[in-house]
Amino acid sequence: MIYTALSSSIVASLGMLLVPTISRELDVAVSTAQWTLTINLLVGAVVTPVMGRLSDGPHKKRLLIVSLLIIMAGSALAACAPNFPVFLAGRAMQGLTYGIVPVTIAIARRYLPPERLAGGISSLSVTVATGLGLGYPLTGLLASDFGFRTAFWFAVVFIASAIAVAWWTIPDGPDDQAPRRPFDLRGAGLFGAGLAALLIGISQGPDWGWASVWSVVTIGGALILLTIWVLVSLRTPHAMVNLRVIRRPDVLLANGAAIGLGIAMYMGLSIISLVAQAPESTGFGLAVPVLWAGFVMLPLSVGSFAANRVVRALSRRVSLTTFLPIGASVLTAAAFVMWLAHNHLWELMASQFLFGVGIGTTYAAMPGLIARSVVTEELGSAVSFNQVLRTLGGALGSALSGAVLTAHAVTAGGPPSEAGIRLALAISAAGCAAVCVALIVNLLRGGVREPAEY
C-alpha cells in the first residue's frame, strides 16, 4: 500500500516543473499552460472526499484498482496528446492521485494488525511529501534528456506496477464488515461545485483582480454553495462528510493544523522553483537549469522520510498531540531560514530538508489523531476531508504568494522583484510561527491525550 500511495504521489508532481516546456511544445501561453497544474488540483480536491466516502464501503480494493487505472489512462493520454486540450484532459484524469492516500489508509485500518497499524498510517500519510521530493528530480532528468512526454510514459509504467502490487497484496472480495450505505449524491454535487468554484476563484484571482466581477461572483458563489452543503449535510443521515465527526477535538485540531500550515508553508514552497530557476540578473535567482532544479526538492523527501521513521518509533510513548507543535516548530524554523538565507543553492536545500522534517512530523500525526477519534466506517471520509483541507491550504498559500509577487513586480506583468520575494517569504514565516504558537497553547492547556490504539 505504501508503494501504491507513493507511486500516485510521484505521478501527481510530474507536471509541476514542466509548465514552460509544455507552453513551448504545445504552443500555448505560459498562463494557459498553468492550467496543467490548476486542473489537476481541481479534480483532486473534488474527487478526494468522494473516494474517501467510497473507501468506507465494502469495495475498497476495487475502488483502488479502478482509480489507478484511470490515472494510468490519463498519463497515457497526456503522453501522446496531439494538442493542449487533450493534454489537459489527461492531467485532469491524473487528479485522482490526490484521493489514493485516504483510500490506502482506509484499507490499512481494515486489514493491518493492531501492532502495525499506527506505523502504517503514519507512513502512508507522508507519501505525499515524499513523492513530491522524488517526483521533482525525476521530472527534471526525464524532461531534460528525453522530452516532457517521456515523464508521462514513465508515469504509465509506474502506475502499472502499483496496480500489480495492489492486486497481489490486498485481500480479494468485499469487506464484509463495512456498512452498505446509499451514496450522498446531493452532498457530493454541492461540495464538488462549491470547492471547484472556490479553487478557480483563488487560483485566478491574481490574474482577474481580487475586486473584479469574476472574482467576486466565483468566490461568493462558492461560499454560498458550501454553506448550503453544510446545512444539507447536517440533515442527511449518511452524508458524504460527517460534519459531526469533524467537531471532535482531535479531528478539529488535525484539520485546523492542515489548513493553517498549508497556507503558511505553501507560500514559501511555491517560491522555491522560481528562486532556483530565475536568472541571476533578477537579484534573487540562482539560474539553476531544469535538469537540476528538481533536485532542490529532494531534501524535502529525505527529511519527510526521516521524520516519519522517528514519529513511528516514538508514537507509543509520545502523544500524537505533541508531535503537531514539534512539526510546526520545525516548519517555522524552515520558513525563517528560507526568508533570511536563499542566496545560495545549499541554503535552499537546507531549508527544504527542514520543511521535509516538519511536514513529515505533522502529516504523520494528523491521520493518527483522526483515526483514534472516529470509527472504522468513517475513517476514509474523515481522512479525505483532512486531505482536501491540505489541498485548499496549499491553493490559498500559492494564491497569496502570487498576489504578493504580482503586487511587487519589477514592471506591470513582469517578473517579481527581490523585495516581493522577501515579503512573501516573511509572511510565510510569520504564518508558520502563528500556527506553531496556537498549537503550543493548545498543548499547554491540556490538549495532550495519551497514545491510544486506533
Q: Report how far Cα 12 is from the mean position of its chain's Cα atoms.
A: 9
CATH number at residue 59: 1.20.1250.20
Grid coordinates in use for 161?
A: 506496477
Quick one: 84 and 205 in the same domain? no
Q: Kindly state whether residue 453 falls inside one of the protein's structural domains.
A: no
Q: Tell me the residue range of the domain where 228 lies.
A: 184-239
Residue 27 sits in the same domain as residue 120: yes
> Of the candidates 239, 255, 277, which is a domain's last residue?
239
Q: Residues 141, 278: one domain?
A: yes
155 and 64, same domain (yes or no): yes
Contact indicator for 166, 64 with CB cutoff of 8 Å: yes
Residue 23 lies in a domain: yes
Is 91 part of a structural domain of the chain? yes
For residues 224 and 345, membership in a common domain is answered with: no
If asked whether residues 347 and 370 sit together in one domain, one would say yes
Q: With contact defined as beta carbons under 8 Å apart, do 385 and 246 qualify?
A: yes
What lies within 8 Å, CB to CB, of 434 at 6+ separation is 260, 264
Domain shared by 341 and 288, yes or no: yes
Same domain, 322 and 372: yes
CA atoms in the 13 A half-sphere facing the CB of 46: 24
Residue 452 covered by a domain: no
**Same domain? 40 vs 171:** yes
Task: Compute the distance between CA of residue 417 and CA of residue 233 in angstroms, rounded to an integer.
Answer: 46
Q: Residue 115: inside a domain, yes or no?
A: yes
Closest CA to 143 of 267, 22, 276: 22
Q: What is the pLDDT of residue 371?
A: 82
| Digitized pLDDT (tens) for each residue of the chain, 454 residues in all | 678 877 777 777 776 677 778 888 898 876 678 788 778 888 888 888 889 888 877 788 899 999 999 999 999 999 999 999 999 999 999 989 888 888 888 888 777 787 777 677 777 777 776 777 777 788 778 877 788 899 899 889 989 999 999 999 888 776 666 667 788 889 989 998 998 898 888 878 877 888 899 999 999 999 999 999 999 999 988 888 888 888 888 899 999 999 999 888 888 877 887 788 788 888 888 888 766 777 888 898 899 889 988 888 887 788 878 899 999 999 999 999 999 998 899 999 999 999 999 998 998 888 888 888 888 777 777 888 888 888 888 878 877 887 788 778 777 766 788 888 999 999 999 999 999 999 999 888 875 554 444 4
380 with 107: CB under 8 angstroms?
no
Of 206, 239, 272, the last residue of a domain is: 239
Supply the pTM of this predicted model.
0.80
What integer pLDDT is reported at residue 453 of this predicted model?
A: 45
Examine the domain organization and report whether 105 and 213 are in the same domain.
Answer: no
Does residue 15 form part of some domain?
Answer: yes
Three cell numbers, residue 183: 451514496
The verdict on 227 and 263 lying in the same domain is no
Residue 452 is predicted with a pLDDT of 42
Do the domain assignments include residue 246?
yes
* Domain boundary, last residue among 239, 274, 303: 239
Residues 12 and 136 in one domain: yes
In a domain, 317, yes or no: yes
3-class state of residue 409 by DSSP: strand
Q: Total structural domains in the chain?
A: 2
